[in-house]
Amino acid sequence: MRNFFKRKIMKWLMIGGAVVGFAMLLIAGVSSIGGTVLSFLLSWQSQTCNQQTNESSGNLTVSGYSKNVLSKAVAVAEAVGADLNIKPALVFAQLAAETGMQDSKEVREDNNFGGVKYSSSFSDIATPGNISPEGDPYAHFKSISGFATIYRNTIKNMLDGKKPDTWHEFVVNLKAKGYMGDDVDHYVGLGQNWYDNYNKLAKKYGKGKISVSASANGSSNDDVASDGSNICPDTDEGSYSGSWVWPFSTIKESPKSLDGGQYGHTSYSRGSTNFHDGFDFSNGLNGVHNGSAVLAVTSGKIYKVGYDSAAHYYIWEKAGDYNIIYQEGFTYKDDIDVKKGDTVKIGQKIGTITDSHVHLGITTNKKNPAMNQTGSPVANGFDHPNCWLNPIKVIQHGLTKEGNS
């Protein structure tokens, strides 16, 4: 009898262990699916200038949805599909492939259907949210419309004028443009059923409505200037004017930089792009050291001195049509020697480097007119490569004996 009960107990322990083990695997599987949201393969944070240019102007206004996740997704799909003139079922399937249409915190509280990373370029429609596993924040969108606007811009860039007729064709475009690391067939499988059943779901959960609102001052729509023109024209500013010098007296020739500190496309990843919108004059290179004087690279007037989460303490100088930003080199505001309204001469000391590097960014009103309208020193940063000039070329063109030639 004792052996009989012992065998019974062992049997039930084994069954219980198997059930627990299966449950653990199931939970792990669900967590993996949920992780799809957080690892969003499209990597929205820092797309190229094309993300928010061309015909994709104005913010989308999405309505006609309830609190239900599917209802919101249908509304976004209808709005983006109508604006880009593509099947809303394609948009809906892509959202479903990323989120599994789960009622996650990102969807429910942040209006974020795809792990969109926060970028200061759309600060008017989003704020920084939870920190991602990569260390940068997700975007907390103020509305579904805000998410739809950024999503629309990225999808437009990905399609590059193409109008896919099937879900498979859409995914092939996604893969070809480098917007996903998944296998095409696997990704197609994630969204195919949602694509096939979209019409039924749209009928059940209602349709969103769309309108495109023109920006009045460029702050809510950073791609269009007040005159309606593209603020980041894809043109080369071939001629530079004025006299310029290096920002540190120890630099006598083209400066060296650490990897990723150069202007332009670098080996250092910044979200989904590797574009760097300025040049980093690093502490420890080119004779620059902690305590070195930061010099005005040209004569001008101090437009603003302030702090920004991306630029840290910064100096914004205006010289004619040029906007010159000295950022990330000052640990405290006291490290800056000038104030708003000061007139500075070329080569004049304007501050002291106490941080790892001085990031020098140079742009013009022609290339970046919304910069003045938004009042942001980093408006259209590495999200918009065509908005910024190469500081090295600008300075080299205007080197003068008045400073450190």
Q: What CATH number did the domain enclosing 378 receive? A: 2.70.70.10
Is pLDDT above 70 for 288?
yes
Q: Which phi and psi (to 5°) does residue 115 adopt? A: 60, 35
Q: Are residues 99 and 192 in the same domain?
A: yes
Structural domains counted in the chain: 2
Q: How confident is the model at residue 139 (pLDDT cuts 50, 70, 90)?
A: confident
Does 299 or 152 have the greater pLDDT score? 299
Q: Are residues 54 and 180 in the same domain?
A: yes
Q: Are residues 71 and 192 in the same domain?
A: yes
Asked, for residue 35, whether it belongs to a domain, the answer is no
> Interior CA angle at 328 toward 324 and 329, to 5°?
95
Of 27-41, 66-80, 86-100, the least confident: 27-41
Q: How confident is the model at residue 348 (pLDDT cuts 50, 70, 90)?
A: very high
Q: Return d(Cα 99, Cα 396) in angstroms, integer.
A: 49
Q: Return d(Cα 161, Cα 137) in angstroms, integer.
A: 31
List, in order, residues 6 or more apart from 214 with CB less than 8 Å away. 57, 58, 221, 224, 228
Does 34 or 194 have the greater pLDDT score? 194
Contact predicate 132/117, CB 8 Å: yes
Nearest CA to 40 among 193, 259, 205, 187?
Answer: 187
Domain range spanning residue 81?
Answer: 49-213
pTM above 0.85, yes or no: no
> Interior CA angle at 94 toward 88 and 96, to 5°?
100
CATH of the domain at 127: 1.10.530.10
Q: Are residues 301 and 194 in the same domain?
A: no
Calculate the CA dihedral of residues 43, 47, 50, 54 and round it to 10 degrees: 80
Nearest CA to 292 among 361, 360, 357, 359?
Answer: 357
Asked, for residue 85, whether it belongs to a domain, the answer is yes
Asked, for residue 160, whether it belongs to a domain, the answer is yes
Asked, for residue 351, whether it belongs to a domain, the answer is yes
Residue 322 β-bridge partners: 319, 364
Asked, for residue 119, whether it belongs to a domain, the answer is yes
> What residue type is 116 in one-letter code?
V
Does 401 or 124 have the greater pLDDT score? 124
Domain termination site, one of 192, 213, 234:
213
Of 35-44, 238-247, 311-320, the least confident: 35-44
> What residue type is 208 in one-letter code?
G
